[in-house]
Amino acid sequence: MTVAPLLIFATVALERDRVWAQAPNPLEGVEIPASLPPDSELTIESSEAMRLVNEALRSRFSSQYGDADVGVEYNSASNALQALTDGDADLAAIGRSLTEEEIGAGLKEVPVSRQKIAILVSPNNPFAGSLTIEQFAQIFRGEITNWAEVGGQDAPIILVDQPGNSDTRQAFRTYPVFESGVFESAPGATVLLEANAETIAQNLDENSISYVVAEQALNNPAVKIVPMHDTLPDDERYPFSQPLAYVYNPQTASPAALAFLGFAVSPSSEALIEGAQDAAIAGAGTASETEATEATPAEEATPETTSETTLEETDSVLPTSAPARGLPWWPWLLALPVLGCLLWWLLKDGAPLAAPLAAAADRRIILTPRTCRDAYAYWELPEGEVEALRQQNCSLALKLHDVTDITDVDRQSPHHTYPFDCDTTAVGDRHLPVAVDDRDYLVELGYLSSDHTWHALARSTHVRVPACPSSVAPGAAGVGAAAAAAAGVST
């Protein structure tokens, strides 16, 4: 008896996304500039929901359009649209659809993506069931007030709501279950001033329920996602989502605004946005690991201090003219060439990766296996570092390392390393052909200096590329090499 409601709900949810995906080209008939004058400027007023998309696109757009200066200010969607209407912004970036009134004022939206909205509770909440879309709407309005009414504990439900001008909150209005009643949060709800996972998690207790964009909730140990119709946000059938779009005024749009809109809906930008979303999810999943790593130096402070003190005492005891003891030192000089040749022979098939990278919150690279023959790399670097590389005529590059069964990549050589060229941009992405499936890989982002020394800037965690199904030809070395060459691998 539960199949029919799920089927109806899934059909509605998928149809909603299908209509959005198949909508007419919003820029049809609009002349998109192929280039911009030097020092062009673009001002975007944005809601918080579009931060991920803005950061994914702005650097690449700037590098492709004569270093155009793209400035982004964050506010509510209503204020962003008002700034656009008043001529104080070239574009508005919002996480909801335009209202009839806003469309009547001459504004047009250009959809670029959708993001799921996750329903969540505290990890300490004992509720382990699934909600329906109707049940959450009733909880939101205060019509269901106890967890026992949805199969949970006998305890009151406390809604932790987002601000009234939140794009994510406003996205609920488009669903029939919310249109059927007054769109007001439950009496006694906690209404927050900020709409992000960190603030929400701090306000959740064992009886609370809330919601946030899925990228901030997936793999986030600070919250627990509630299944909807027995699905999670990484399933396309999960019901709630919100549109992400740029808005412009056709009557006043500047060349820079039109160029950015054309760039935003290009296939390459679609991949950038998808990569940014993957990176956000992976970043949430590694948050607890980062905290543990950052705590390590403090734990090791005492041994380091002890070691340093011991060295100072030893140095003060040994005189500078101490006589030689045991074997004379000069025969070792004669042995150095032999030792060098032996070392070269041992390491001729590879070398360990570069020295351990210093932690940098503003540098990261994510590697995601897409198929057994394709991996996807997405990176973010400080714009200042990338500009410095350009001034020194240095180009970024990628190295895909096969690290299967290697526990310490700083001391052990990868089995194989596949170098790739890439764009020298602060935010970028690249598909990487995989030579051999069913192996562990990590990707390193860096550059070669003028003396041909490799300098690593960021390194991904290792991921497992799945084994190809039997219908896919085995990954012979020649096949992988040919694919890599076709994709632009440097030699």
19-23, 232-236, 366-370: which has the minimum mean pLDDT?
Answer: 19-23
Q: Which pLDDT score is estimated for 480?
A: 40
Q: Which pLDDT score is estimated for 442?
A: 92
Q: Which pLDDT score is estimated for 148?
A: 97
Assign 227 a pLDDT band (cuts: 50, 70, 90): very high
Model confidence at 128: pLDDT above 50: yes
Q: Which pLDDT score is estimated for 14?
A: 41
Assign 471 a pLDDT band (cuts: 50, 70, 90): low
| Best-predicted range by mean pLDDT (16-25, 137-146, 358-367, 449-458) | 137-146
- In tens, the pLDDT along 172-225 reads 988 899 987 788 999 999 999 877 888 899 999 999 999 998 888 888 899 999
Model confidence at 318: pLDDT above 60: no
Q: Give how far Cα 165 sits from Cα of 100, 103, 331, 487, Å.
A: 17, 18, 79, 46
pTM: 0.58
**Average pLDDT, stretch 46-68?**
87
- In tens, the pLDDT along 233-290 reads 888 889 899 999 999 999 999 999 999 999 999 888 887 787 777 776 665 544 444 4
More confident position, 70 or 4: 70
- Full set of structural domains in the chain with CATH: 3-112+245-268 (3.40.190.10), 116-242 (3.40.190.10), 364-486 (2.60.40.10)
Assign 82 a pLDDT band (cuts: 50, 70, 90): very high
